[in-house]
Amino acid sequence: MTARFDAYLFDLDGTIYLGDRLLPGAAETIAWLRAEGVPFRFLSNNATRSPGQYAEKLTALGIPTVPADVVNTVTVTTHWLRTNHPEAVVFPIAERPLIEAFEAAGIAMSEDPAEIDIVVASYDRGFDYRKLQIAFDAIWFHKRAFLIATNPDRYCPFPGGRGEPDCAAVVAAIEASTSTTCRAVLGKPDPAMAAAALAGIDVDPTRCVMVGDRLGTDIELAHRSGLQSALVLTGDSSRADVEAAAPDARPGLVLERLDELIA
């Protein structure tokens, strides 16, 4: 076996696991890369878990992982706010991991529309009319806040073909009611996600591969960030989707299972 690339970035859900089940070849691929000393990171657009929680899940599934191995929209969104709008007061439509990350970073938060500078939309299973009203008042009535999103995903896939509405559904509700446009959409395919994942890894991006199951996020991230790309057919996108895609939107590799990367 041989490593085709100098560094590997892996999507999680649909690539490494699906729900609480490891996908074929995932554990073997990661174990081999670790044994060979080839750097890798796990990437996720899901902000309902912290990097530490993802590390715990992967370890429990049989892939020993530390939080530093994981980059997700919790870390990227927190970093973006601290870098670009350090004094802003934000209203997070989000679950506890993102809110706790904001608290730890010293980001000011409020539910008073008259104080809010930025509405942060995320995957939030507690999204309700009250939260929509706060966002509406901050953006439309007070005309002081703008909208950003942690990720562009329309839904989060579940085993058996099911799924849950994701961040894009929250964004759509706010945009429709306020006639505003989301100013920044972080997470894959935004190149900021790749930059965060490769921080501290001294490799040429053209010698790094992004591996995932979605053309519109994982493979697009690779194209926009100057990375190599590999689509694994264990999640969202199919071979038919690849064939129907424009030539410049297709992955460099199409894999039936993850360990074909090193076979």
| Per-residue model confidence as pLDDT tens for the chain (263 residues) | 567 899 999 999 999 998 889 999 999 999 999 999 999 999 999 999 999 999 999 999 999 999 999 999 999 999 999 999 999 999 999 999 999 999 999 999 999 999 999 999 999 999 999 999 999 999 999 999 999 999 999 988 777 778 889 999 999 999 999 999 999 999 999 999 999 999 999 999 999 999 999 999 999 999 999 999 999 999 889 999 999 999 999 999 999 999 999 86
Q: Known catalytic residues?
A: 11, 13
Q: Write down the CATH number for the domain with range 7-45+189-261.
A: 3.40.50.1000
Q: pLDDT tens digits, residue range 12-28? A: 999 999 888 999 999 99
How far is residue 94's CA from residue 170's CA, in Å, rounded to a whole number? 10
7-45+189-261 with 83-185: one CATH topology? Answer: yes
Q: Determine whether the annotation assigns residue 117 to a binding site.
A: no
How far is residue 64's CA from residue 89's CA, in Å, rounded to a whole number? 37
Q: Determine whether the annotation assigns residue 13 to a binding site.
A: yes
Looking from the CA of 257 toward its CB, the CA atoms found within 13 Å total 11
Q: Give residue 4's pLDDT.
A: 87
Q: Give residue 161's pLDDT.
A: 76
Q: Determine whether the annotation assigns residue 248 to a binding site.
A: no
- Of all residues in the chain, what percent carry a pLDDT higher than 70? 99
83-185: CATH topology is Rossmann fold (3.40.50)
The whole-model pTM stands at 0.89
Q: Give residue 162's pLDDT.
A: 81
Q: Nearest to residue 94, comparing CAs of 29, 50, 36?
A: 50
Q: Give residue 163's pLDDT.
A: 84
Q: Give residue 114's pLDDT.
A: 98
Q: Determine whether the annotation assigns residue 84 to a binding site.
A: no
Domain ranges of the chain: 7-45+189-261, 83-185
Q: Determine whether the annotation assigns residue 151 to a binding site.
A: no
How far is residue 12's CA from residue 193's CA, in Å, rounded to a whole number? 14
Q: Give residue 75's pLDDT.
A: 93
Cβ atoms 9, 208 nearer than 8 A: yes
Helix, strand, coil distribution of the chain in percent, nearest 5: 40, 20, 40
Phi, psi of 156 (to 5 degrees): -105, 120
